[in-house]
Amino acid sequence: MPHTREWTVRLHLFEDEEGTTKAHLVLDTGTTALTGHGAAHCHPADANVPEIGDELAAGRAMNDLARQLLRAADRDLEGVGAPRPSTRVTTAWSL
Protein backbone atom coordinates (compact mmCIF):
# COMPACT_ATOMS: atom_id res chain seq x y z
CA MET A 1 0.00 0.00 0.00
CA PRO A 2 1.67 3.28 -1.13
CA HIS A 3 2.42 5.86 1.52
CA THR A 4 3.32 9.48 0.82
CA ARG A 5 3.80 12.28 3.35
CA GLU A 6 5.33 15.72 3.31
CA TRP A 7 6.92 17.10 6.45
CA THR A 8 8.08 20.69 6.78
CA VAL A 9 11.39 21.64 8.39
CA ARG A 10 12.25 25.20 9.39
CA LEU A 11 15.77 26.09 10.47
CA HIS A 12 16.53 29.38 12.20
CA LEU A 13 20.16 30.40 12.77
CA PHE A 14 21.14 33.36 14.95
CA GLU A 15 24.02 34.64 17.01
CA ASP A 16 23.56 35.67 20.64
CA GLU A 17 25.25 38.51 22.56
CA GLU A 18 28.24 36.33 23.48
CA GLY A 19 28.89 35.36 19.85
CA THR A 20 27.42 31.86 20.10
CA THR A 21 25.72 30.64 16.94
CA LYS A 22 22.44 28.93 17.78
CA ALA A 23 20.14 26.82 15.65
CA HIS A 24 16.46 26.21 16.24
CA LEU A 25 14.99 23.48 14.02
CA VAL A 26 11.26 22.73 13.86
CA LEU A 27 9.85 19.63 12.17
CA ASP A 28 6.11 19.85 11.46
CA THR A 29 4.57 16.51 10.46
CA GLY A 30 1.06 17.90 10.19
CA THR A 31 0.02 16.10 13.37
CA THR A 32 2.94 16.92 15.64
CA ALA A 33 5.93 19.23 15.88
CA LEU A 34 9.40 18.41 17.18
CA THR A 35 12.09 20.96 17.94
CA GLY A 36 15.84 20.44 17.76
CA HIS A 37 18.47 22.76 19.18
CA GLY A 38 22.16 23.18 18.49
CA ALA A 39 24.92 25.66 19.27
CA ALA A 40 28.48 26.44 18.22
CA HIS A 41 31.12 28.54 19.93
CA CYS A 42 34.15 30.00 18.20
CA HIS A 43 37.36 29.40 20.14
CA PRO A 44 39.18 32.72 20.65
CA ALA A 45 42.31 31.34 18.94
CA ASP A 46 40.35 30.30 15.82
CA ALA A 47 39.47 32.47 12.84
CA ASN A 48 35.90 33.71 12.98
CA VAL A 49 34.19 32.03 10.02
CA PRO A 50 30.41 32.43 10.50
CA GLU A 51 29.59 29.73 7.91
CA ILE A 52 31.38 27.11 10.02
CA GLY A 53 29.42 28.13 13.12
CA ASP A 54 26.19 27.90 11.11
CA GLU A 55 27.11 24.43 9.87
CA LEU A 56 28.02 23.17 13.34
CA ALA A 57 24.94 24.62 15.04
CA ALA A 58 22.60 23.37 12.29
CA GLY A 59 24.20 19.91 12.29
CA ARG A 60 23.86 19.66 16.06
CA ALA A 61 20.21 20.74 15.89
CA MET A 62 19.57 18.11 13.20
CA ASN A 63 21.31 15.49 15.33
CA ASP A 64 19.12 16.48 18.31
CA LEU A 65 16.01 16.17 16.15
CA ALA A 66 17.14 12.82 14.70
CA ARG A 67 17.56 11.38 18.20
CA GLN A 68 14.07 12.56 19.13
CA LEU A 69 12.61 10.91 16.02
CA LEU A 70 14.41 7.63 16.75
CA ARG A 71 13.16 7.65 20.37
CA ALA A 72 9.61 8.34 19.13
CA ALA A 73 9.87 5.44 16.67
CA ASP A 74 11.08 3.14 19.47
CA ARG A 75 8.12 4.14 21.65
CA ASP A 76 5.70 3.61 18.75
CA LEU A 77 7.20 0.19 17.99
CA GLU A 78 6.80 -0.80 21.63
CA GLY A 79 3.21 0.53 21.51
CA VAL A 80 2.29 -1.85 18.70
CA GLY A 81 4.01 -4.79 20.37
CA ALA A 82 6.95 -5.10 18.00
CA PRO A 83 9.73 -7.20 19.51
CA ARG A 84 13.05 -5.54 20.24
CA PRO A 85 16.02 -6.88 18.29
CA SER A 86 18.12 -9.34 20.30
CA THR A 87 21.27 -7.35 19.49
CA ARG A 88 21.54 -3.69 18.72
CA VAL A 89 24.32 -2.16 16.68
CA THR A 90 25.28 1.24 18.03
CA THR A 91 26.39 3.77 15.45
CA ALA A 92 26.93 7.50 15.50
CA TRP A 93 23.37 8.11 14.34
CA SER A 94 21.55 5.47 16.40
CA LEU A 95 20.32 5.80 19.96
Domain ranges across the chain: 8-79
List pLDDT tens digits, range 36-55. Answer: 999 999 988 988 899 999 99
Which comes out higher in pLDDT, residue 18 or 62? Answer: 62
Which comes out higher in pLDDT, residue 46 or 86? Answer: 46
Strand order in the sheet with 33-40: 8-15, 21-28, 33-40
CA distance 16 to 64: 20
The listed CATH number (3.40.50.2300, 3.40.50.300, 2.30.130.10, 3.30.160.240) that belongs to domain 8-79: 3.30.160.240
